[in-house]
């Protein structure tokens, strides 16, 4: 199977030619088997490969978790200083990332804390500031109320909401004094405006670039997202998920001293200081070839995802491929133009640099590859939040999986699952809506009657944790 940007592993990005609608797009990396969608470090941008080389001296967290954690940390340094215009809206590079994996084994907190540690030199430099200045300049915020978050964004529009436990945010958002917080955050992601009104405050800071980084276990996710309201709020669809499975993705348990990379990590402050001092906001554009490639690739992915995985999966995918994609593209472009940015700072010719700033096709391709990896984990995430409550649906899927050609009649499934007819009907309806199964109406031989049958669709393998390769 072809990956997004290669026919062979050693293919160079600069060999990619601009694509037209008539060109055949390479196949995506997801949807076939887990081995082919495994996180491929060799295809990452050089700055991410360099980061992994450094931090893996001091920790055993999976490369995917380390990369996913670091992206929002870079984002908050860029803040609202740079943006891309899409459909008349400014897209800042802020990202929401949630790491999901078992306690201890997955080292998700290790990955997150390692990313945060790249900010340590800057945080230490704030120690001699007044309390007012410290609170304004410190980009990191933790557990915070709806009112307080609005006030902090008014002081500093570029913030990183960092929580070691995602459940803390959800619990806070459902408390009596913070009703509507999830919807307010959702609106903020889309409009870059934190519009919160209370009896005593009218807080509307604009041009906000709030990034988010948090961790959670599978079981916690199942517990927190039991209501359709939570799942359909739109908040979930705006986050990027990194699902960590230590048994299959990363098994290194060798002890490592995190001080082994401390000095090299602190060198990133030179880059981050540069980003913070950009006298923006400045617009960045896609080159013509990059725009053409991205346009047709996203169109291709939309059709592929809807056809194979259904509209629910695309409700996540559309955010990844139209919003997160542009945000990641900005990050890649900025990280790969450090020398030119230094020159712009030294000469004061910032406007000249950004006037000609264009994200090229190679950078767009790299961003799309990362988006493919993030979408691959969306299917796993959907399974996590649904599996805790869809027991009847899972029972039907299990029975259907054991049938020849993954196909069975309505009556066969009803008998084998031992479910009440009404419960069975409801579960079947849910499965059809998920696109996990397809209903087939077939004429019975020798009669005018039709019989109902069901067959498994590809998304069922990921959503219901079936053995991945069909028998």
- End position of a domain, from candidates 352, 368, 387: 387
Mean predicted lDDT score pLDDT of the chain: 82
What average pLDDT score do residues 392-413 get?
A: 90
98 shares a domain with 236: yes
Count of domains in the chain?
A: 2
Q: Note down the domain range covering 169.
A: 13-387
Question: Is 432 within a domain?
Answer: yes
Question: What is the distance between the alpha carbons of residues 324 and 111, in angstroms, rounded to a whole number?
Answer: 20
DSSP 258: G
What average pLDDT score do residues 244-262 get?
A: 63
Res. 24 pLDDT band, cuts 50 70 90:
very low
Model pLDDT for residues 78-104, shown as the tens digit of each residue:
999 999 999 889 999 999 999 998 876
Question: What is the distance between the alpha carbons of residues 394 and 460, in angstroms, rounded to a whole number?
Answer: 10
Q: Is the pTM of this model over 0.75?
A: yes
284 shares a domain with 421: no
Res. 43 pLDDT band, cuts 50 70 90:
confident
160 shares a domain with 66: yes
- Poorest-pLDDT segment among 202-206, 223-227, 281-285, 335-339: 223-227
Question: Is 1 within a domain?
Answer: no
Model pLDDT for residues 206-219, shown as the tens digit of each residue:
999 999 999 988 77
The predicted structure's pLDDT at residue 229:
46
The predicted structure's pLDDT at residue 386:
67
Question: Is 179 within a domain?
Answer: yes
- SS3 (DSSP) at 196: strand
Spell out where 254-395 has E strands.
282-283, 285-286, 358-359
What average pLDDT score do residues 386-395 get?
A: 73
Are 5 and 365 contacting, i.e. CB atoms less than 8 angstroms apart? yes
354 shares a domain with 445: no
Question: What is the distance between the alpha carbons of residues 460 and 13, in angstroms, rounded to a whole number?
Answer: 34
- Poorest-pLDDT segment among 68-72, 231-235, 258-262, 308-312: 231-235
Q: Give the residue among 274, 359, 354 at the shortest CA–CA distance from 325.
A: 359
420 shares a domain with 295: no
322 shares a domain with 409: no
What average pLDDT score do residues 229-257 get?
A: 68
- End position of a domain, from candidates 361, 387, 413: 387
Res. 449 pLDDT band, cuts 50 70 90:
confident
What average pLDDT score do residues 37-53 get?
A: 89
- End position of a domain, from candidates 335, 363, 387: 387
Q: 186-194, long-range: CB within 8 Å, 24+ apart, which pairs?
A: 186/233, 186/234, 186/235, 186/238, 189/96, 189/238, 190/89, 190/238, 191/89, 192/80, 192/90, 192/92, 194/149, 194/150, 194/153, 194/154
Are 262 and 124 contacting, i.e. CB atoms less than 8 angstroms apart? no
Model pLDDT for residues 47-80, shown as the tens digit of each residue:
999 999 999 998 889 999 999 999 999 999 999 9
Question: Is 198 within a domain?
Answer: yes
Question: Is 85 within a domain?
Answer: yes
Residue 156's CATH number: 3.40.50
pLDDT at 224 over 80: no
Res. 46 pLDDT band, cuts 50 70 90:
very high
346 shares a domain with 230: yes
For the chain, the straight-line distance linking the first and the last C-alpha, in angstroms and rounded, comes to 19
Question: What is the distance between the alpha carbons of residues 55 and 60, in angstroms, rounded to a whole number?
Answer: 9
Question: What is the distance between the alpha carbons of residues 296 and 23, in angstroms, rounded to a whole number?
Answer: 10
445 shares a domain with 363: no
Question: What is the distance between the alpha carbons of residues 101 and 155, in angstroms, rounded to a whole number?
Answer: 34
What average pLDDT score do residues 188-212 get?
A: 82
Residue 406's CATH number: 1.10.10.10
Question: Is 468 within a domain?
Answer: no
Res. 5 pLDDT band, cuts 50 70 90:
very low
The predicted structure's pLDDT at residue 381:
86
Are 148 and 135 contacting, i.e. CB atoms less than 8 angstroms apart? no
pLDDT at 21 over 50: no
442 shares a domain with 357: no
414 shares a domain with 357: no
Question: Is 104 within a domain?
Answer: yes
Q: In a 10 Å sphere around its CB, with 0-12 CB exposed, 13-18 middle and 19+ buried, how is residue 10 labelled?
A: exposed
The predicted structure's pLDDT at residue 50:
96
What average pLDDT score do residues 369-391 get?
A: 81
Res. 22 pLDDT band, cuts 50 70 90:
very low
| C-alpha dist (Å) from residue 404 to 63, 152, 258, 424, 455 | 39, 59, 52, 21, 10
Model pLDDT for residues 300-335, shown as the tens digit of each residue:
999 989 988 888 889 999 999 999 999 999 999 999
The predicted structure's pLDDT at residue 160:
96
205 shares a domain with 71: yes
398 shares a domain with 368: no
């Amino acid at each position: 199977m072809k990956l997004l940007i290669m026919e062979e592993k050693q293919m160079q990005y600069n060999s990619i030619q601009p694509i037209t609608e008539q060109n055949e797009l390479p196949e995506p990396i997801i949807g076939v088997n887990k081995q082919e969608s495994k996180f491929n470090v060799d295809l990452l941008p050089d700055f991410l490969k360099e980061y992994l080389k450094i931090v893996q001296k001091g920790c055993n967290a999976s490369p995917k978790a380390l990369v996913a954690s670091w992206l929002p940390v870079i984002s908050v340094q860029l803040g609202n200083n740079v943006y891309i215009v899409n459909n008349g809206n400014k897209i800042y590079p802020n990202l929401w990332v949630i790491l999901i994996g078992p306690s201890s084994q997955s080292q998700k907190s290790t990955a997150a804390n390692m990313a945060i540690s790249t900010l340590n030199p800057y945080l230490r430099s704030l120690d001699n500031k007044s309390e007012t200045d410290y609170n304004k300049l410190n980009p990191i915020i933790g557990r915070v109320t709806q009112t307080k978050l609005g006030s902090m964004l008014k002081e500093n529009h570029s913030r990183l909401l960092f929580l070691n436990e995602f459940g803390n945010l959800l619990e806070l958002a459902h408390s009596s004094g913070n009703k509507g917080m999830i919807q307010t955050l959702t609106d903020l992601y889309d409009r870059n405006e934190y519009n919160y009104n209370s009896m005593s405050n009218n807080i509307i800071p604009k041009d906000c670039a709030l990034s988010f980084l948090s961790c959670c276990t599978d079981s916690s996710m199942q517990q927190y997202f039991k209501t359709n309201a939570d799942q359909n709020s739109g908040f979930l669809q705006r986050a990027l998920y990194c699902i960590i499975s230590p048994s299959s993705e990363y098994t290194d348990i060798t002890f490592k001293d995190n001080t082994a990379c401390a000095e090299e990590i602190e060198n990133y402050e030179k880059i981050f200081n540069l980003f913070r001092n950009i006298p923006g906001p400045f617009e960045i554009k896609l080159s013509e070839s990059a725009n053409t490639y991205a346009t047709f690739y996203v169109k291709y992915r939309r059709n592929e995802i809807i056809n194979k995985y259904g509209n629910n999966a695309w409700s996540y995918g559309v955010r990844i491929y139209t919003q997160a994609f542009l945000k990641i593209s900005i990050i890649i472009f900025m990280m790969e133009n450090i020398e030119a940015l230094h020159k712009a700072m030294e000469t004061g010719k910032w406007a000249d640099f950004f006037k000609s700033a264009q994200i090229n096709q190679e950078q767009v391709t790299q961003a799309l590859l990362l988006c493919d990896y993030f979408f691959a984990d969306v299917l796993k995430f959907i399974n996590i939040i649904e599996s805790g409550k869809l027991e009847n649906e899972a029972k039907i899927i299990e029975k259907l999986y054991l049938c020849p050609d993954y196909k069975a009649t309505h009556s066969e499934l009803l008998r084998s699952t031992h479910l009440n007819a009404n419960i069975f009907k409801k579960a079947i309806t849910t499965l059809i809506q998920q696109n996990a199964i397809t209903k087939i109406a077939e004429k019975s031989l020798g009669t005018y009657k039709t019989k109902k049958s069901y067959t498994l669709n590809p998304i069922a393998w990921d959503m219901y944790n079936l053995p991945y390769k069909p028998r």
